[in-house]
Structure 1
Amino acid sequence: MPLISLDRSKTSLRAAALARRAALSETARAAAAQALLGRPFPLAITAGDVVAGYFPLRGEFDPRPLLQALAEQGARLALPAIVGPDRPLAFRAWHPGEPLVKGQLGIPEPAAAAPALTPRTLLVPLAAFDRAGHRIGYGGGYYDRSLEALRRDGVVTAIGLGFAVQEIPLVPALAHDARLDLVLTEAETIDFRS
């Protein structure tokens, strides 16, 4: 498939999945975030493990209840920060309730003075996903670059968080598109690590 056709395909798939996500009520969104707390987290978390999440925007699946629960199990938390175009994300220490600052794209993130951390587990927002572990993000490539760098430097488990309505039959993925290891929705845990 030509690159331009692939880009158009991803754009239309992204728009359709985001429309389904946008149609969810606030009650359904809150219930989905709580649903993750009702089943075991798919990885063992030991004291000091670094788990990076994200600050939810535009109706994204809210990882904050899960992050709070993981912190109570001893995880150290981090949130991403954009440090420049075409660069991997930086991950900075964060504790629930700590104030955040607006980053380069207006996304809340820890202040630049917060310690940099390397996550062992990375919670990834998404626009759409498929049963092969591919995701469609928002087109900036930040998570693809970040996962490539983290995987080159060690072991990291990438867990996409999304609503079941964001699943699509097939993501048109390219070689540089980083695969997820798992996806958590309000309905199930989908494991691609086999």
Structure 2
Amino acid sequence: MTIPSDPAPSDHSDKDALRRATLARRDALPADVRVAAAAAIAARPLPVPVTAGAVVAGYMAIRSEIDPAPLMRSFVEHGCALALPVVVGRDAPLMFRAWAPGVPLVSAPFGLLEPAAEAPVVVPDILLVPLACFDRTGHRIGYGAGHYDRTLATLRATRPVVAVGLAFAAQEIARVPATAWDARLDLVLTESEVIDCR
């Protein structure tokens, strides 16, 4: 696959342009390709060692995102507990509430689904991260709100957490114009490979 090059300056307009171009490529992937990609990621051995009871924070896929549900089920089969993110505020890190497959979710802003308010708040050991595009150094462009950058900075200030980006191979770019504030991923999983960015 040819990886598109990106402009040199690292400003918001560059990130916006990269986001739009990569999301257009992602949107163009046929539904059966998306399903097969999610299954391929989940069929591999887990990308990180886990201990029983480790908390894995996933997400509910929206739009054309790769679906983390098969991988989340694989973590459960290895004794992990699951959590989902909750948007607390525009400039706040995400909060995570415990969740298990089959437990109903509630509608939240931006078309998201979240655990109900009575679900316990937990702190993840492993964070599955959605993204618009990524590079091989572990930098990513998200959707522009900065929630995951703030969340990873907050979590990593107090304890180790493994950040695992999930993406289609078509979302890779040559270089993300990252800043010192952008949190890096430890791994990126695509349908074709496991990319270790550490």
Identity of aligned residues (%): 58
Partners of 2:187 and 2:10 lie apart in 1 by: 28
Q: For 1:1-194, what aligned pairs fall within 5 Å after superposition?
A: 6-193=11-198
The alignment covers a number of residue pairs equal to: 190
Q: TM-score, normalised by structure 1?
A: 0.95
Q: Deviations over 1:70-129 (max 9, x none)?
A: 111110000000011100000000001111101233310101110011000000000000
How many Å separate the matches in 2 of 1:112 and 1:177? 29
1:6 CA drift (Å): 1.1
CA distance in 2, matches of 1:180, 1:70: 19
Aligned equivalents of 1:37 and 1:111: distance in 2? 27
Paired with 1:105 and 1:13, the residues of 2 have a C-alpha distance of 21
Misfit runs of 4+, over 2 Å: none
Pick which of 40-49 and 80-89 moved more: 40-49
Query: Counterpart of 1:49 in structure 2: which amino acid?
Result: A
2:157 partner SS: helix
Q: Give the gaps of 5 or more residues in structure 1.
A: none
RMSD between aligned alpha carbons?
Answer: 1.1
Q: Decide whether aligned partners of structure 1 residues 61 and 95 sit closer, same or farther in structure 2, where only a CA change above 3 A counts.
A: same
